[in-house]
Amino acid sequence: MSEYPVHRVGYNENPFASSHSLDTNPFEDPATSQADAARLESIRQREADLERRQRDLDQREQQLQHHGKNNWPFFFPLIYHDISVEIPEASRPLINRLYQLWLVLLGTLVLNMIACIFILIAGSSDGGRDVGAAIGYLFIITVTSFLLWYRPIYNGYMKEQALYYYFYFFFCGFHLLFSVYMIIGVPRYPTLKVFRGNCSPRLPFSSTGSAGLIQTIQMFAGHHWVAAILGLVATVGWTLQGLGNAFYYRQIYTHHTAAGHTMEKASSRMFILALAFEPLIFQSFQAKTELASHGAKAYFTRG
């Protein structure tokens, strides 16, 4: 027996095989290999980021195709209006209530006009003027209320810009005063008629265009029941939308204060807009038309 152990090589084992893989370069610098691996990882990350951006673009394109088209008013779409898409979730109930109040206002204007027509039929001396004023209110108040107080607060919650809040506070304040005027049916002045040197007021008062409390009481007193009931319903409509707007006016003011909106921020925004428009004052009519178009898009979109 030999003193030294004999290493027996199996038939399947190659005694000349290298312990290094043939794919590995023995002369390669390990630092260079790590740098290449880092570059490959960076490339993979960039590719993943590009794929994510492409998916985002595709989603936005689909949203524009389905949600970006004009949809309001439904019978003749002029603008895009969708509270569930454009307004943050926490503020949607408030904007929905304001939109419902605007619809109540629209319905009240229609009822007010119809009531004034029946007041004219009942024999009111100024019924014709009331009907004319009521028709004017139907068209003018409908448009101006949407553009001057509803849309600004819609934009305010959508974009959270101080300027829109101040637009709302200013014009909605006037609307609240107008609502009080229409609820009461405040006459502008009494007409006077001279009887043998004496001045005596001739009722009813001068036209207001409102089938408010004064007109309604007169119709009940004269037993003109249809005109009286329509006037009462119109008065209730003015009261509901007026009280509702007053309630939310205060709630919006609280939100506006908590959000840190100030007159300075609104003024700076107005100043920036003025600087942007100043070079275009003396431009051509076509340039001014394009400017107006861009301004309208900014007012009725997220931009």
Tell me, what's the pLDDT at 194?
Answer: 40
Over residues 189-204, the pLDDT tens digits come to 544 444 344 444 444 4
| Distance between first and last Cα of the chain | 96
pTM for the full model?
Answer: 0.71
- DSSP string covering the chain, please? --SSPPPPPPTT--TT--SS-TTS-TT--HHHHHHHHHHHHHHHHHHHHHHHHHHHHHHHHHHHHHHSS--BSTTS--B---HHHHS-GGGHHHHHHHHHHHHHHHHHHHHHHHHHHHHHHTT-TTHHHHHHHHHHHHHHHHHHHIIIIIHHHHHHHHH--HHHHHHHHHHHHHHHHHHHHHHHT--S--EEEEETTEEEEESS-S--S---HHHHHHHHHTT-HHHHHHHHHHHHHHHHHHHHHHHHHHHHHHHHHHTT--HHHHHHHHHHHHHHHGGGTTS-HHHHHHHHHHHHHHHHS--
Does pLDDT of 13 surpass 60? no
Q: Which residues of 60-94 are buried (b: 16+ CB within 10 A; e: fewer)?
A: eeeeeeeebeeeeeeeeeeebbebeebbeeebeeb
The pLDDT > 90 percentage for the chain reads 51
Can you give the pLDDT at residue 248? 98
Q: Which of 24-33, 123-132, 148-157, 191-200 has the lowest mean pLDDT?
A: 191-200
pLDDT tens by residue, 168-180: 999 999 999 999 9
Interval 86-90 mean pLDDT: 93
**Per-residue confidence (pLDDT) for residue 18, from 0 to 100:** 52
Q: How confident is the model at residue 277 (pLDDT cuts 50, 70, 90)?
A: low
Q: Per residue in 227-269, pLDDT tens? A: 999 999 999 999 999 999 999 999 999 999 998 988 888 887 7
